[in-house]
Amino acid sequence: MKNNYPTPHIKAEPKDIAKTVLMPGDPMRAKLVAEKYLDDAVLFNNVRGIQGYTGKWKGNPVSVMASGMGMPSIGIYSYELYNFFGVDNIIRIGSAGAMRPDVKIRDVVFGMGACTNSSYGSQFGLDGSFAPIASFKLLSRAVELAKQKGIDYHVGNLLSSDTFYDDTERTMSWAKMGVIAVEMEAAALYMNAARAGKNALAICTVSDSLISGEATTAEEREATFTGMIELALDLGCGL
């Protein structure tokens, strides 16, 4: 591991960060997870307001750190965590929009793969299109935990979109290829994990539906996303 820390984005040392990091997009959700779930949580980063904490869950060290919104943002933070701080596993805990009628509000989706309309993968100089996929180690255990906890879940392909407001309104065209939900970060995370030889999984709770138009409020997301968070924490404990 390179002695390249602190970085411009993470003011910490490897000893400050656990081998497993949960990554919500929102810094306030990182703060909420640390304060509500972790014992002895310590703030290790607040550069640009991107809060990162390390504490213990059921006696096991775990970190939680925000990723910001979009692939460029999670691309920076996951790259630095994997390559400079010795992190082995990153579990994204975020929200997603359902793209199938059987995927309901507050269901949990596990991203087995992540399609994208981004050019993020072009940096790797490949003669074709790379297919970003999750770590099977994390995915298989996450599914078992969901079954044990009685969580309504779906496993499938996500769409990591570069745009939240799409002028072409073609997002739903991905559904015909079996894509189950849209979010904005997983593909970059999976690509960085593949390049670094590390593990990644995106776990998202459905916050709105592109089919029905139903949506949750910010307050509802904070109050009802607990199943996803506790599942991710238990997942991190087993690594």
Task: List the catalytic residues.
Answer: 208
Which residue is associated with the tokens 């640009």?
48
Return the axis-axis angle of helices 136-149 and 226-237, rounded to nearest 10°: 130
3-class secondary-structure state, position 19? coil
Q: Quote the CA–CA distance of 30 and 9 in Å, as a whole number.
A: 16
| Other CB atoms within 10 A of residue 104 CB | 15
